[in-house]
Amino acid sequence: MKNATVSVILGVNAQPADLERLSQTAVENDIHLIVILVCELPPIPVGYMGLGEFSAYSLPEGWQADIDRANAALAEQRSKISDYLADQGASAEVRAICGESSGLRTAVARAGLTCDTVIIGDDLRMDDRLFREILQAALFDSSAAVMLNTLSAVEALHPRSVFVAWKAGIPAARAIRAALPVLRTAKDVTLALFDPISTPSHDGENPGSDVAAWLNHQGCTVTVQQYPSSGQEIGAGILKQAKEIAADLIVMGAYDHSRLREMVFGGTTRTLIEQRDRPVLLCH
């Protein structure tokens, strides 16, 4: 992933040391880092007294002081991380954003419009709701690929082995396009199809051959593998097969089904998002 621009979204608990391996990789591969520190603030708790033109509002005692302390702490954290990345010799800029969740979503979405990849830090998983807000903003409101579980496994940025979970459709095709820089340099790429249907209207008469031909023409070393699910959930099957080949990165389209269906019934995307053992690149 040489000469790429990567946005890294971190929470209030992130430390400069969390970026040690990423900063080294950035220096070696001429990667520009945009680090965005996000801190969610609660809505303003305004209380109203009176009616009409005689009404007034008040804030709870100490609320503004709490907000000022949160902003000060985030500014200090920004300064520490900025100094650390400068000391490492990395090309980087660090931004700090404090606000309500809607404002944080907008900031993440805008960053994703002008970068190649958005990496979401593991520390954000400490707040599951905020993690999902940030993830959905990156996936649905930006044009960049999204990577999870990457800061502690930065070999995912220049993987030797990549496991591509293919299901014919726009999300999977976008994921492959986003991953092309690393697919070209990987030693081997496994193109995996689970329970393919060999008909012209579904996966083609020879499932996976068209995608493999595309990737081969791009200079990738591709092996097509067809796996039976045998009643196993597809997400679990992807993780199992990726582990067996020691893949450094899983590439997959996200939310091929609706978000509501995934939320209610679960699904492959949900399984890959919730797991923390293997780096994954997602596109919608």
Collapsing DSSP states into helix, strand and coil, what is residue 283? strand
3-state secondary structure labels for all residues of 185-251: HCCEEEEEEECCCCCCCCCCCCCCHHHHHHHHHCCCCEEEEEECCCCCCHHHHHHHHHHHCCCCEEE
| pLDDT value at 70 more than 90 | no
Query: Tokens standing for 121?
Result: 């830090």
Query: Tokens standing for 224?
Result: 């097509």
When the pLDDT of each residue in the chain is averaged and rounded to a whole number, the result is 89
pLDDT on residue 64: 77
Give me the percent of the chain exceeding a pLDDT of 90. 74
pLDDT on residue 259: 54
| pLDDT value at 234 more than 70 | yes
pLDDT on residue 265: 42
| pTM, entire model | 0.89
Given pLDDT bands bounded at 50, 70 and 90, which one contains residue 273? very high
What gap in Å lies between CA 279 and CA 272, rounded to an integer?
Answer: 9
Angle between helices 128-140 and 101-113 (to 10 degrees): 40
Architecture per CATH, domain 159-283, reads as 3-Layer(aba) Sandwich (3.40)
DSSP string, 100-139: -HHHHHHHHHHHHHTSSEEEEPGGGGGSHHHHHHHHHHHH
What gap in Å lies between CA 26 and CA 19, rounded to an integer?
Answer: 10
Architecture per CATH, domain 5-42+67-148, reads as 3-Layer(aba) Sandwich (3.40)
Given pLDDT bands bounded at 50, 70 and 90, which one contains residue 58? low
| pLDDT value at 198 more than 60 | yes
Given pLDDT bands bounded at 50, 70 and 90, which one contains residue 202? low
Q: Which residue has the tokens 């400490």?
A: 126
pLDDT on residue 260: 53
Of residues 160 and 203, more confidence is placed in: 160
Among 179, 151, 188, residue whose Cα is nearest residue 251: 179
| pLDDT value at 54 more than 70 | no
pLDDT on residue 258: 59
Parallel, antiparallel, or unpaired: how do β-strands 222-227 and 188-194 relate? parallel
Parallel, antiparallel, or unpaired: how do β-strands 161-165 and 280-283 relate? unpaired
How large is the average pLDDT for residues 222-242?
94
Given pLDDT bands bounded at 50, 70 and 90, which one contains residue 68? confident
What gap in Å lies between CA 245 and CA 240, rounded to an integer?
Answer: 9
Domain with CATH 3.40.50.620 in the chain: 5-42+67-148, 159-283
Over the stretch 87-116, which tens digit does the pLDDT of each residue have? 999 999 999 999 888 899 999 999 999 999
How large is the average pLDDT for residues 206-210?
89
Over the stretch 118-156, which tens digit does the pLDDT of each residue have? 999 999 999 999 999 999 999 999 999 999 999 989 999
Q: How many CA atoms, within 13 angstroms, populate the side-chain half-sphere of residue 249?
A: 31
| pLDDT value at 254 more than 80 | yes
